[in-house]
Chain A
Amino acid sequence: MYNLLLDILVDIFGILFLVYSFSIILFYLTMTVLSALEMRDHLKKNKFADYRDVITSPVTPGISVIAPAYNEGQNIVQNAKSLLTLHYGKYEVIIVNDGSKDDSLQKMIESFDLVKTKYAYYKHVETGNIRGVYKSTNSSYAKLTLVDKENGGKADALNAGINIAGFEILACIDVDCILSSDSLTRMVRPFMEETNRKVIAVGGVIGVANNCQVKDGTVTEYRVPETLLGRFQVIEYFRAFLMGRMAWTRINGLMLISGAFGFFNKDLVLKVGGYFPKTVGEDMELVVRMRRYMEETGQKYKVGFVPDPLCWTEVPESENILSKQRNRWMRGTIETLQLHKKVKLNPKYGVLGLVSYPYWSIFEKAGPIIEMAGFLYTTLMIFKGDISALYFIGLFVLMYVFSVMISSFSILYEGVAYNNYKDKADLNKLMRTVLLEPFLIHPKIVLWGLKGHWHFIKGKGGWGEMIRTGFKKAEDKKKINSPIQLQ
């Protein structure tokens, strides 16, 4: 009897893993096709766009660039200067010093002739205590505002910047990101083009800057990183940004805009209450909340994406830092999905509820758990002798080749779209990484994802504890589980 039950369970699990694997492969194949179509259209459209007009035209919307900084003393002045030289007419730069313990504030004050002002602003969004708002006495830096506040985390710092922002579009970036001089002109285009739908947010590609040559705030020569981990992230960024997000954009299902480089409609951000500071996935959470608001109020909307290489960042090349990043990303994903459970499979939320949310739940959130369970299942079957070597090797080889194919596709895809990595030696290195990734890096990514789950359950890590206790607060629950209120 028990043996029969065990056999049935083994069979059921086997089928579930099978269906899961097929679904993920099917998703990837669909994504490659959708992203290719979207990229084709984007490149064609780009041929007819003259971005020079955007810089000076009175029609273009104003942009408030908000860059939170924590202990960035080493580069903050250089980065702020770089932001002040972007090619765009109507914009301001708001640097938010989030209680840095280093000399960030002093360096900024000295470099830009800043003085503390009596800046009057309304706290649309609650934030930590603001110690001062600084403006420059030098008219050359009239675009610059420095907000000095007590430490409260990235989301809190962004909210402080949002309260000060004076223009209709918010560009939320990481202060250490390298922005191309024409990044604003290109990112503002989706906001300007749409007529039938409101563009609520636009995401951009983040390139890997490690080992690249940077001149005047722009990457002039692309080189792949020296380390395997660095190169893996180059490929991963191709897959995530060029393929994944382009595909989601095609069906207007984009749920995540990178916190390092995202543009938002300010009115809507204020309406939904700004960033939620109790999650480490504040970027994703904001997009989901904005989308929910639009769906619940029955407004047509779009989340855009610009795949042009406009922003670069240095990715972690040490396992320790990368593991923490992945752990945080996983917790951010879990938290966002938990906060917006209401959306799940709810036809009222359209693509968001029926496609995007389930995808993130099943493949991104549950991915590491299912992969680990699959691994344990297979191991168990091998020991029990219920799985033949033929069966195992066949499956393994097919999955491996498929994974290599998808990664190769992403490299070719980048080559067709932008061809930034021109050096053959670099391409060879990337191909070697593609071959090694499933054995050397993917298992670690799975483990770090699992660790993220574990830390979420235990309430460990940055903001983890706060969100878990935060859930219990009636206000938070009301805010998230009921239809989003107008502020």
Chain B
Amino acid sequence: MNGSGKRHLLKLFQLLLILVFPLGYLHAQDSLRLKIESRLFEVSQEIPGLSFVLQVQENDKDLSVFDLNRSAENGIWVSDTIADFKSIAQLKDTVFLATGHEGLLTFLIFGKEAEAEATGEFLENLVRNELLLKNDISNANGFEEGALLVMASKVPFTPYHKMKTKILSDTKMLLLVSTLVLFLIASVILVSIMYVVKVKKGKRDLLTQKFKELSFEPLSNLLFEHSLEELKNFDKKRFESFFPVDHLKNNLFKDVMIMEIISLNKNMKGDFKSKLKTIYRKLELDLHSIKKLSSKKWDVITAGIVEINEMDVVEAVEKVKKFAGSENFNIRSNAVATLLNISNDPELKVLVNQDYPLSKWQQMVYFRIIKFINNSQEKVRVDFLFESKNESVRIFGYKLVRYLGLFELLDILLIKYKNATIVEKTEMIKCFDAFSYQDALDLLHRDLYTSDKALFLGIVGVLQNIGNPISESLLQEKLNSGLDFESKKAVMQSLNALNPEDLAKWNIQSKDAEVHQIYDHLIDPVLINV
């Protein structure tokens, strides 16, 4: 406890001495007055709100020397209002010695005259307001056991009073405890939330499992015991008769059903796919999927889009279109994938008009879909992608040329090559390489002097495949121009493919240790494909 606290405590202790003891003597005014006076005498400091006035009945002597004033009204000598009891008591003694008259002390509470009893009550209030500690009472001089009993009857019992007082008076501890309690409550809330989430998830998982089991048998029956024609002729009620009626309105059950149907759809072929789609529609699960598009949660919207895609809900295309430019990566990716899949868009407009750059993940997904459409439905117009304002879309288009074997588009690429960016060129030359496109040689020779390393390495790689004697001499020229290790290795690899004898001779003549090292690598039979 700091100094100020100690001072306060001392004050309180003194107050206790002053205040508590007189409480045992409230029976008679005189004895009470006497007791209050005697206890107040022991206090050297002031008690807030309490002051005193001395009155002396003296007609003969002039008491103004004691700073007393004579009242014009009744001739009584009156002192100033004094807050310090010791001073007033001293004055009283001095006047008594000088005049033989014992003055009368008047108590003033907040400036107003009060009876001894009222003064007693005032002090008692201080005790009740816990300005004094009970235990300190016992330290008071002259305290009698009876006083405690009397005080106990007057002061209400407060459990853990000392502890409370200590905590409340120690601000540091108060701050500490309250903050820690706050933290503790926060952590309890977090744990509770997590627990609730876990329990809910557990229940949901159990229910999902139960619904899976409930839907498995009816789905199997519908798939294996009925023909597609039969299924098409069933009405909704007939379908519903296969499933537990109570659950068909349950959203989770619908979700589980959709999940099961999609899962089966991915693993089955032919008629079964059509049967599954018929079941999905007859049970009006397509409406459930479309409804998800109105959700505010991105994952629900995405789930709806995925379901629409998997089950070919063509009528939802217009609704899905508005998500093709969504800020949310997952919504946008799945919306574009869905539109590519079900919107009959062989010109790939949805991709051409994409504002956002395509990530590799998106390209992977879109490639799968485009490949499927290209192989099973109608030929997609990949060349439309070359006209997109979005560079990543154009690059994706060049990749598709390679991945889908669209060699008929190489002539367009050749035209585009001249004005293409470095990144585009790097992708285009991979196409030239993939189809051994000789017509590109002149352009490649020209770009062999590029300062872009990736483009240079790409061109050298293509020349390894389609190069001619001019390429060979250009590559040799480059090799003599002081290349870094990686470029040197690529050039030597190309030269080794174009004219191994010349490279062998050149290797013998060269004094460059790196050249020998690379050459040894190139002719090592184990590393032939590395």
Chain A residues within CB distance 8 Å of chain B: 7, 14-15, 18, 22, 25-26, 29, 32-33, 36, 44-45, 47-48, 50, 53-54, 57-61, 115, 117-120, 122, 135-137, 142, 166, 189, 191-196, 388, 390-391, 394-395, 398-399, 401-402, 405-406, 408-409, 412-413, 415-416
Query: CB-CB < 8 A to B422: which residues of A?
Result: none
Given that A29-B186, A29-B190, A118-B521 are contacting pairs, would A395 and B486 also be in contact in the complex, using a CB cutoff of 8 Å?
no
Across the interface, A195 reaches (CB within 8 A) one of B173, B181, B298, B359, namely B359
Given that A33-B190, A53-B368 are contacting pairs, would A402 and B521 also be in contact in the complex, using a CB cutoff of 8 Å?
no
Query: CB-CB < 8 A to A194: which residues of B?
Result: 359
CA distance A117 to B523 in the complex (A): 10
Query: CB-CB < 8 A to A136: which residues of B?
Result: 526
CB of B183 closer than 8 Å to a CB of A: yes
| Residue ID in chain A nearest B485 by CB atoms | A122
Classify the interface of chain B: helix, strand, loop or mixed: helix
Chain A to chain B: the 4 pairs with minimum beta-carbon distance, closest first: A120-B521, A122-B485, A405-B187, A118-B520
Query: CB-CB < 8 A to A402: which residues of B?
Result: 180, 183-184, 187
Across the interface, B183 reaches (CB within 8 A) one of A18, A25, A115, namely A25
Given that A48-B302, A53-B368, A405-B188 are contacting pairs, would A195 and B530 also be in contact in the complex, using a CB cutoff of 8 Å?
no
| Inter-subunit contact A48/B486 (CB<8 Å) | no
| Inter-subunit contact A48/B358 (CB<8 Å) | no
| Inter-subunit contact A118/B524 (CB<8 Å) | yes
CA distance A54 to B364 in the complex (A): 8
CA distance A395 to B489 in the complex (A): 68
CA distance A115 to B184 in the complex (A): 63
CB of B224 closer than 8 Å to a CB of A: no
| Residue ID in chain B nearest A166 by CB atoms | B530
| Inter-subunit contact B330/A48 (CB<8 Å) | yes
Given that A18-B176, A135-B530 are contacting pairs, would A406 and B358 also be in contact in the complex, using a CB cutoff of 8 Å?
no
Query: CB-CB < 8 A to B163: which residues of A?
Result: 390
Query: CB-CB < 8 A to B356: which residues of A?
Result: 195
Given that A118-B527, A195-B356 are contacting pairs, would A412 and B330 also be in contact in the complex, using a CB cutoff of 8 Å?
no
B438-455 interface (Cβ within 8 A of A): none
Q: Can you list 5 A-B contacts with CB-CB less than 8 angstroms, sorted by A residue number?
A: A7-B2, A122-B486, A135-B526, A398-B181, A398-B184
CB of B518 closer than 8 Å to a CB of A: yes
CA distance A402 to B180 in the complex (A): 9
Query: CB-CB < 8 A to A166: which residues of B?
Result: 530
| Residue ID in chain A nearest B194 by CB atoms | A412
| Inter-subunit contact B530/A192 (CB<8 Å) | no
CB of B299 closer than 8 Å to a CB of A: yes
Query: CB-CB < 8 A to A390: which residues of B?
Result: 163, 166-167
Query: CB-CB < 8 A to B167: which residues of A?
Result: 390
Query: CB-CB < 8 A to A409: which residues of B?
Result: 187, 190-191, 194
CA distance A194 to B303 in the complex (A): 21
Q: How far is the CB of B427 from chain A (nearest CB, A)?
A: 12
Given that A122-B486, A412-B198, A416-B197 are contacting pairs, would A61 and B190 also be in contact in the complex, using a CB cutoff of 8 Å?
no
CA distance A58 to B403 in the complex (A): 8
Query: CB-CB < 8 A to B367: which residues of A?
Result: 57-59
Query: CB-CB < 8 A to A18: which residues of B?
Result: 172, 176
Query: CB-CB < 8 A to A142: which residues of B?
Result: 529
Q: Flag B180-221 by CB within 8 Å of A: 1 or 0 each.
A: 110110111011001101100100000000000000000000
CB of B242 closer than 8 Å to a CB of A: no
Query: CB-CB < 8 A to B392: which residues of A?
Result: 195
Given that A398-B180, A405-B190 are contacting pairs, would A416 and B201 also be in contact in the complex, using a CB cutoff of 8 Å?
yes
Given that A45-B330, A137-B526, A196-B357 are contacting pairs, would A53 and B306 also be in contact in the complex, using a CB cutoff of 8 Å?
no
| Inter-subunit contact A120/B183 (CB<8 Å) | no
Across the interface, B187 reaches (CB within 8 A) one of A15, A22, A196, A406, namely A406
Query: CB-CB < 8 A to A391: which residues of B?
Result: 173
CA distance A166 to B485 in the complex (A): 14
CB of B363 closer than 8 Å to a CB of A: yes
Other A-B pairs beyond A58-B402, A194-B359, A413-B194, 9, CB < 8 Å? A18-B176, A29-B190, A47-B299, A117-B527, A118-B520, A122-B484, A390-B166, A409-B190, A415-B198
Q: How far is the CB of B203 from chain A (nearest CB, A)?
A: 13
CA distance A189 to B486 in the complex (A): 28
| Inter-subunit contact B195/A395 (CB<8 Å) | no
Q: How far is the CB of B130 from chain A (nearest CB, A)?
A: 18
CB of B112 closer than 8 Å to a CB of A: no
CB of B157 closer than 8 Å to a CB of A: no
The winner among A14, A115, A395, A415 for most chain B CB atoms within 10 A is: A415
B360-401 interface (Cβ within 8 A of A): 360-361, 363-365, 367-368, 392, 399
| Inter-subunit contact B517/A193 (CB<8 Å) | no
The winner among B179, B180, B334, B521 for most chain A CB atoms within 10 A is: B180
| Residue ID in chain B nearest A92 by CB atoms | B530
Across the interface, B299 reaches (CB within 8 A) one of A44, A115, A135, A394, namely A44
CB of B66 closer than 8 Å to a CB of A: no
Query: CB-CB < 8 A to B177: which residues of A?
Result: 394, 398
CA distance A135 to B526 in the complex (A): 7
Query: CB-CB < 8 A to A399: which residues of B?
Result: 180
Across the interface, B359 reaches (CB within 8 A) one of A45, A54, A192, A412, namely A192
CA distance A413 to B403 in the complex (A): 43
Query: CB-CB < 8 A to A59: which residues of B?
Result: 360, 363-364, 367, 399
Query: CB-CB < 8 A to A195: which residues of B?
Result: 329, 356-359, 392
| Inter-subunit contact A416/B194 (CB<8 Å) | yes
Q: How far is the CB of A465 from chain B (nearest CB, A)?
A: 34
| Residue ID in chain A nearest B297 by CB atoms | A44
| Inter-subunit contact A192/B360 (CB<8 Å) | yes
Query: CB-CB < 8 A to B524: which residues of A?
Result: 117-119
CA distance A327 to B521 in the complex (A): 44
| Inter-subunit contact A47/B303 (CB<8 Å) | yes
Given that A57-B368, A119-B527, A135-B527 are contacting pairs, would A408 and B485 also be in contact in the complex, using a CB cutoff of 8 Å?
no
Given that A36-B194, A409-B187 are contacting pairs, would A193 and B526 also be in contact in the complex, using a CB cutoff of 8 Å?
no
CA distance A241 to B195 in the complex (A): 20
Query: CB-CB < 8 A to A192: which residues of B?
Result: 359-361, 364
| Residue ID in chain B nearest A142 by CB atoms | B529
Across the interface, B530 reaches (CB within 8 A) one of A119, A193, A415, namely A119
CA distance A48 to B485 in the complex (A): 43
| Inter-subunit contact A405/B191 (CB<8 Å) | yes
Query: CB-CB < 8 A to B527: which residues of A?
Result: 117-119, 135
CA distance A29 to B188 in the complex (A): 11
Q: How far is the CB of A463 from chain B (nearest CB, A)?
A: 29
CA distance A399 to B183 in the complex (A): 10
| Residue ID in chain A nearest B172 by CB atoms | A14
CA distance A141 to B236 in the complex (A): 57
Query: CB-CB < 8 A to A119: which residues of B?
Result: 521, 524, 527, 530
Query: CB-CB < 8 A to B360: which residues of A?
Result: 59-61, 191-193
CA distance A402 to B357 in the complex (A): 46
CA distance A191 to B361 in the complex (A): 9
The winner among B179, B329, B526 for most chain A CB atoms within 10 A is: B526
Query: CB-CB < 8 A to B368: which residues of A?
Result: 53, 57
Q: How far is the CB of B118 from chain A (nearest CB, A)?
A: 39
CA distance A60 to B392 in the complex (A): 15
| Inter-subunit contact B489/A120 (CB<8 Å) | yes
Q: How far is the CB of B190 from chain A (nearest CB, A)?
A: 5
Query: CB-CB < 8 A to A416: which residues of B?
Result: 194, 197-198, 201
Query: CB-CB < 8 A to A33: which residues of B?
Result: 190
| Residue ID in chain A nearest B403 by CB atoms | A58
Given that A53-B368, A409-B191, A416-B201 are contacting pairs, would A29 and B183 also be in contact in the complex, using a CB cutoff of 8 Å?
yes
| Residue ID in chain A nearest B163 by CB atoms | A390
CA distance A412 to B202 in the complex (A): 12
CA distance A142 to B357 in the complex (A): 36
Given that A135-B530, A398-B180 are contacting pairs, would A57 and B357 also be in contact in the complex, using a CB cutoff of 8 Å?
no
| Inter-subunit contact B364/A395 (CB<8 Å) | no
